[in-house]
Amino acid sequence: GAVVSQHPSWVICKSGTSVKIECRSLDFQATTMFWYRQFPKQSLMLMATSNEGSKATYEQGVEKDKFLINHASLTLSTLTVTSAHPEDSSFYICSARGFVGTGEPGNTIYFGEGSWLTVV
């Protein structure tokens, strides 16, 4: 079953509004979570690395004031797209680094199901 849950799966918002996407690790604590953006038929683009209790580290070219990331607890990180525009429409995926006890390396990264954002 899923070990990382994202919500919502789909969201449509009006241009100029803000939208929040949640990423939760299930049954394990994730000190580090990652947020990606994926364009159609392309690989994942890392946007930022989120560490619990500290400020997120953004990749070059990603506007930190536009994509607000909060990692307030060991099981929850949120991405808020502020003042969304149609060009922000994309598939956003979060992942969490953790150990779920199935024999994998302790730093294995598990992914959420993704969130489709459409800005109209």
Partner 1 sequence: GEDVEQSLFLSVREGDSSVINCTYTDSSSTYLYWYKQEPGAGLQLLTYIFSNMDMKQDQRLTVLLNKKDKHLSLRIADTQTGDSAIYFCAETRGTASKLTFGTGTRLQVTL
Give min distance, CB of 87 to partner 1, in A.
Answer: 20
Kind plus residue range of the DSSP H or E element containing 4: strand 4-7
What b-and-e string marks burial along 29-46, b requiring 16 or more CB atoms within 10 Å of the CB?
A: ebebbbbbbeeeeeebee
Give min distance, CB of 88 to partner 1, in A.
Answer: 18
Give min distance, CB of 1 to partner 1, in A.
Answer: 11
Q: Which ranges of 5-89 would DSSP assign to H, the alpha helix?
A: none
Of 13 and 46, the one with the shorter C-beta distance to partner 1 is: 46
Of 67 and 110, the one with the shorter C-beta distance to partner 1 is: 110
Of 38 and 82, the one with the shorter C-beta distance to partner 1 is: 38
Give min distance, CB of 71 to partner 1, in A.
Answer: 15
Distance between CA atoms of 4 and 22, rounded to whole angstroms? 10
Of 43 and 54, the one with the shorter C-beta distance to partner 1 is: 43
Tokens representing 75 are: 């099981």
Binding site for partner 1 (CB under 8 A): 4, 6, 32, 34, 42-44, 46, 49, 91, 93, 95, 104-114, 116
- Which residues have C-beta within 8 Å of that of residue 113, sequence separation ≥ 6? 2, 5, 6, 9
